[in-house]
Amino acid sequence: MGILGRVFRRKSKKQIPQSDTHLYRDLLTNITRVKNDFGQSDDLTVNSFKWNDSSPSICASLYIKSLVNTETINSLSEEISNLKIKDNKSRQALPFDVLRAHFSGVRTLKEGDKYIDLYADLLSGNTVFLLHGSRQYLSIPTESTEGRSVEEPSSQTVIRGPKEGFTENINQNILLVRKRIKSNTLRLENLSVGNLTRTAVGLMYIKNIAKDSIVREIRDRIKKIETDSILEGAYIEEWIKDDRYSVFPTFLSSEKPDSVASALLEGKVAIFTDGTPYVLTAPALMVEFLHSSEDYYHHYIIATMMRFLRFIAFFLTLLVPSFYIAIATFHQEILPTPLLVSIAAQREGVPFPTFLEALIMENTFEILREAGIRMPRAIGPAISIVGALVLGQAAVEAGIISAVIVIIVSITAISSFAIPNYEMANAIRATRFAFMILAGVIGIYGIFIGIIVLTLHLCKLKSIGVPYLTPIAPWIKDGNTDTFFRFPFWVMKNRPFGLHGDDKRRIGGEYTVRKNKKGNQEFR
């Protein structure tokens, strides 16, 4: 600490009270308190200096070396040195006044007088300035911006559409959304969650389009979170979701800025979490988990056809194994005689009952799928191919399983890959085993009981107070222009029912399609 070394050593021997929350007027007492609270950490850097030779003002700058940008720190030190030289003639000016006057228009300045706020600034990568005789501090952002650059999302690939994806930097993610919504009605609220991690969380919505009650409810729920750590957006989702025991996701997570921008324009709220490339949007409806951002970049007839394929894949993933178990075990009379004879011939010599055979194959596929995900990318696909081809063919030839069960599991697996949202696909994978157990116990009756229970559960679910099956249950006649079908843009005049605030119209005027005298369509 240079000129203050001997004085600091004398001060460090004193007992510094730890119960006070506000800064002291004595600079060395504050420095000692900070260093003790950080456990004499080696990367906590403290530099003390006099503002000028004739001034009694003693200052100190503090920062955590591992969190700051070295070039920014060097630039800041050079600027302060120049300020000190220019201010040598002014003996009356205080260092804080000079710093405020110089940096207020260039950098973001923050003032405080509490230790907890000072620690939060230090741990955010800021440089903190302390002044002897003052109970306040100044903070200047100097955090390091190193991290992954903007690149194509890995979990939401599209053929046509923007290729940009979110990164782990919350400010970069907010920028990607603001680039798409250039409106002064776009609001951002900064929150901090986690007693130890103090993770930065951003709440974004569009004024008058988002419903005030939904924004207030999400804000209140996040503020009530009491936990040590928030490391990913899923932590927040699990804390604030309406039904914490439901396996179905009630928050839509996305890696694509265009998807988040589209959700904001529908009246939803986006939750940004620092350290993760996934942004949550709420309220989320069940049909949205089977939609893709690419639906809006293709012709509406093609997009509608693709949606129907996803809904078919949804039901195939959920019900194909259970229906096979029920029919092969209890209801063989449903099958045509040639097909029944073929299945019986294939199962001749198989030592396991149909339910156990299907359960073994489904579990084997889930293990192969998990192994392919966790293995390095270079050999991950090879694991899946070897498992699907070699093990499946060998098991059939050995008489352990029948060939038809391989077809059933393959149909189920391929259909599950057609579900665009990974969280919803996982929920269906888990629910599928429950249906298989019901089918193995009481056949088709069990499947229909499971469908009734599942439907009641989905009807009971809510996402931030909005029914999960909206606009199907409750049925909204004018709200089904973007559920199973993707209607043309000029038909979708209003925002989704139950989500929007005062501004409910997407289209400013009445648009109709008419034919002119030449027989061509035109908008009016």
* Secondary structure string (H, E, C) spanning 410-439: HHHHHHHHCCCCHHHHHHHHHHHHHHHHHH
CA–CA dist 452, 82 (Å, integer): 75
Q: What was the pLDDT predicted at 85?
A: 61
CA–CA dist 513, 97 (Å, integer): 64
* Closest to 365 measured CA to CA, from 418, 423, 424, 429: 429
Characterize 416-437 residue by residue with b for buried, 16 or more Cβ atoms within 10 angstroms of its Cβ, and e for exposed.
bebbbbebbbebbbebbebbbe
- DSSP 8-state symbol, 206: E
Q: What was the pLDDT predicted at 277?
A: 93
pTM metric for this prediction: 0.82
Q: What was the pLDDT predicted at 382?
A: 61
How would you classify the pairing of strands 269-273 and 186-193? Answer: unpaired
Q: Report how far Cα 65 is from the mean position of its chain's Cα atoms.
A: 29
Provide block-wise average pLDDT over 10 residues at a time, the chain (524 residues): 46 48 87 89 85 71 87 81 63 70 72 87 88 87 80 83 89 91 91 88 92 92 92 92 91 93 92 93 92 90 93 94 92 85 81 88 84 71 65 77 86 90 92 94 94 95 91 81 86 79 68 53 47
Number of Cβ atoms within 10 Å of the Cβ of 206 = 22
Q: What was the pLDDT predicted at 61?
A: 87
* Closest to 365 measured CA to CA, from 385, 379, 348, 346: 385
Q: What was the pLDDT predicted at 326?
A: 93
pLDDT tens digits, one per residue of 26-85: 888 889 999 998 888 888 889 887 766 666 678 888 999 888 888 888 888 877 777 766
Paired strand residues for 61: 47, 129
Q: What was the pLDDT predicted at 519?
A: 59
Region for 202 from its dihedrals, namely left if φ exceeds 0, alpha if ψ lies in -120 to 50, beta otherwise = beta
* Closest to 69 measured CA to CA, from 149, 169, 142, 168: 142
Q: What was the pLDDT predicted at 268?
A: 92
| Sequential DSSP letters for 118-184 | HHHHHHTTEEEEEETT-S-EEEEE-B---SPPP---SSS--SSS------S-HHHHHHHHHTT---T
Helix, strand, coil proportions of the chain in percent (round to 5)?
A: 45, 15, 40
- Is residue 296 within 8 Å of residue 303, measured between CB atoms? yes
Q: What was the pLDDT predicted at 311?
A: 94
CA–CA dist 321, 157 (Å, integer): 29
Give how far Cα 500 sits from Cα of 221, 228, 267, 268, 459, Å: 20, 34, 5, 8, 21
